[in-house]
Amino acid sequence: MPKKLLIKDKTTYAGNMRAGRQIRSRKLTTAVLVAVIPVFALAGSEISTGYNSYGYPGLIDMPVATSRPDGELAFSSSHFAGQTRNTLTFQITPRLSGSFRYSIIDNYQGGSTLYDRSFSLHYRFLDETYTRPAVAIGFNDFLGTGIYASEYVVATKSVGKRLRVSLGMGWGRLGGSGGFKNPLSVLSDKLETRPVRNTGQGGTVESAQFFRGDAALFGGVEWQATDRLKLIAEYSSDAYPDESPFNFERDSQLNLGASYKIRPGMDLSLRYLYGSEIGVQLTAALNPKNPASTSGREPAPPPVLPRGALSAEELNWPTSEGQQTTRSTDLAQALRQQGIRLHGLSFEGSTARVEIENTTYQLEAQAVGRTARVLSRRMPTNVDTFEIILVSSGVPVSELLVRRSDMETLGDDLEGSWKSFARTSITSPVGKLHPIPERYPRFDWNLKPYLTPSLFDPDSPIRADLGVQLDATYEPAPGWELTGSVRKKIIGNLDDASRRSDSLLTRVRSDFNLYEQQGDPAITNLTAAYYFKPGQDLYGRVTVGYLEPMFGGISSEVLWKPNNSPFAFGVEANYVKQRAYDQLFDFRSYEVATGHVSAYWDMGNGFHTQIDAGRYLAGDWGATVSLDREFKNGWKIGAFATLTDVPFSTFGEGSFDKGIRITMPISWLTGEPNKSAYTTTIRPVTRDGGARLDVGGRLYEKVRPLQKPALQDGWGKFWR
């Protein structure tokens, strides 16, 4: 037989075999669905939305139009055929979710292992009704290198309580299998062709690709078999162009899966993918709105004591200096038992002016309410008004006038919360503070564990150090703070990082691994700061010393923040010098003047946005835009992006600085009142462009929680 004919016959035979496998796979899928659905037709509960293998709301690989609960934060890890996707997803609003994904793909395009970072957005713009499905739109990998770049529109409709179907159309990666001419091309011929993506360093938005090129249909069925088990079948339009046939044979567009709820917030999924592969996924989710521990474990507040219940001895207020000192000491002790520090005490007529510092409660309104309760029990009968001053770093921020009669009448009122707020005057304080003699000087120290993670190093994607940190604070007088922190590593592998920076800019951040290798023990900060109030709505700060692990010098700031305004403006100016890698007392030669003009907006419903424009540590000029969502219990989840005059090619991988920051309050875990929190920032890559000084004690977060908008949001805790 001729050689060419033999080869042709072998090719034909292989094609026939593949076609046979595809037919058998489709038959298997149909058989499983036919067998399974009747078995569970009488079982199960209302269907839930799951996370697909890309980590956003979906089926197995494909998306759905429904959403997860508002505020949920989830981490998912999926694996099949040499591909691992680790995704962090946040349900930003009830309709909008955002995902950050770190993927590891072996044998990428038949070559080496690829480590890829990408973002996704999923927005539900129509809710499901009796006659209409929910409809959502999504964008995948719109900031990364684009290997998952795709757009989609998907509709999802429930059929009863346990069955749900989805049908959608995808472009880009999701238009690669079973594709056809873009129906949007009726609007413009340009939409028929999808431009080739210029990946470059990644991190750029290729909007010219959106909804262009071939489109393809996808869809699926979800069946909530029991309270814990959900079965899924989908028709995928993902062609896996860079992974197949290098990692697996794609014999079918049908996928089957089962998802089992191990416990609330944790699901395990097993999948049969593309007619040839087995996949697995583990998802763990939490919601900041739902505490991990039972709330309300703090001691009950003291009951309000009506003036008629006071003894004859308490009717008379001592007049001598010694007697007044004794009474202020007693008041300080009573407040201390409630987790509140008495800063000052004075009287004017029938008004008691009490200065407090909240050292315990996430919401300042709770500290105010407990203070008012204590005052109702400690003040003589001639005191009609409690003037409560909220103090931060020795600076008065807010003045609340609470009538004693309101405390006596509203304590048991079912609508006492909003009524007490309506009757409380909240303004900016006027006049000087009157600290009690024992308030200054004051020395505090704290020994606690620390955890420093490092993510996305291709040599070792997850690194971390665990150790102990000693913090100390000395306050010699109002407004003055001397602080310092020393760390000692106990265990960890951050110092194992071997990669060296290839930055074309001054290496103000990209040499972070050298600081980790040589800084043990390390003085992370050692500063002297002065906080002051130059005007009624103005706040000031000057800080000198070792300001952060990598820089020391002088930092100054002025903030304008009216008490009843959602807006604020600030100016910060710094002159700093780079610290030595050992993070002790020496400096390197590099020094720079840096600073920013900042605008802040409290958007309501817990959302805050901030814009900082100015000069960064590497000498580049630009601006940072931040958006954060803050929950009433202290959780904060947000994202930021910085664009400067540094060209993307000079910045390097990632093109510009961006990241996600998460703050988790300790009280959320323990259920006990505590102002401590763990904060981490997740950056896809750490480079030198757009790097800002990380000085502590910035004014906005010291002032804002103590002012009227934040007090109003948390006033539900006033009586707790």
pLDDT at 16: 45
| Of the options 2.60.15.10, 2.40.160.40, 3.30.565.10, 3.30.460.80, the CATH number for the domain spanning 7-286 | 2.40.160.40
Where does 255-397 have alpha helices with state H? 312-315, 321-336, 364-378
- The predicted model scores a pTM of 0.88
Reply yes or no: is the peptide bond before residue 521 cis, omega within 30 of 0.
yes
Helical axes 364-378 vs 321-336, angle rounded to 10°: 140
Instruction: In whole angstroms, give the CA distance from residue 558 to residue 188.
Output: 52
pLDDT at 196: 84
Instruction: In whole angstroms, give the CA distance from residue 136 to residue 131.
Output: 16
List residues bridging with 384 in a β-sheet.
Answer: none
278, 269 contact by CB (below 8 A): no
pLDDT at 36: 39
The token duo for 453 is 């993670």
Stretches where the chain sits below pLDDT 70 are 1-45, 198-204, 294-296, 309-324, 458-459
Instruction: Tell which residue, 149, 133, 136, 106, has the closest CA to residue 246.
Output: 106
pLDDT at 502: 87
Kindly list the distances between the CA atom of residue 39 and the CA atoms of 36, 270, 351, 450, in Å, as whole numbers in the listed order: 5, 20, 74, 52
Kindly list the distances between the CA atom of residue 88 and the CA atoms of 75, 146, 603, 682, 698, in Å, as whole numbers in the listed order: 5, 18, 25, 10, 28
* Phi, psi angles (nearest 5°) of residue 616: -100, 180
pLDDT at 294: 64
pLDDT at 111: 85
CATH class belonging to 442-709: mainly beta
> Who's near 39: CB < 8 A, 6+ residues apart?
none
Architecture of the domain whose range is 307-438: 2-Layer Sandwich (3.30)
Kindly list the distances between the CA atom of residue 260 and the CA atoms of 45, 175, 270, 281, 549, in Å, as whole numbers in the listed order: 13, 30, 9, 10, 45
The token duo for 517 is 């290798």
List residues bridging with 282 in a β-sheet.
Answer: 77, 268
Instruction: In whole angstroms, give the CA distance from residue 302 to residue 308.
Output: 17
Instruction: In whole angstroms, give the CA distance from residue 398 to residue 389.
Output: 6
Q: In the chain, which segments carry CATH 2.40.160.40?
A: 7-286
Q: In the chain, which segments carry CATH 3.30.300?
A: 307-438
Instruction: In whole angstroms, give the CA distance from residue 677 to residue 693.
Output: 21
605, 628 contact by CB (below 8 A): no
- Radius of gyration of the chain measured on its C-alpha atoms: 30
Count Cα atoms within 13 angstroms, Cβ side, for 462: 5
